[in-house]
Amino acid sequence: MMNAGLPDAEALAKAMDIVAGIRVAGAQRHQLNQLVPERWMRSVALSDPALVGAATLTPVESALPRTGLKETVPATALGTASSTTMRKPQSSMDE
């Protein structure tokens, strides 16, 4: 096993640290950052709802069940509309 002999909490913390270093914007392509990209996109929108023209966003369970991590299933959210228009996200390529 990957973390055999470690207490569960310590093994989980170690796994989370590994994944956190791989699933970040700008990271090199890796199997872990290619899984469920729609959830990544939703997390970006949740952190800055103005990107999609919303004032607030809350994640909600999809009506379509996920049967695997490689399957594309909408990552849904509910929100309130913003009184302003959508804004363009900042990109290192814009500089």
| Full DSSP string of the chain | -TTTTS-HHHHHHHHHHHHHHHSSTTPPP-HHHHS-HHHHHHHHHHH-GGGGTEEEEEE---SSPP--TTS-----EEEEE-SS---PPP-GGG-
pLDDT at 87: 62
Looking at the whole model, is its pTM more than 0.85? no
As a whole-number percent, the residues of the chain with pLDDT over 90 amount to 46
- The mean per-residue pLDDT over the stretch 18-27 comes to 90
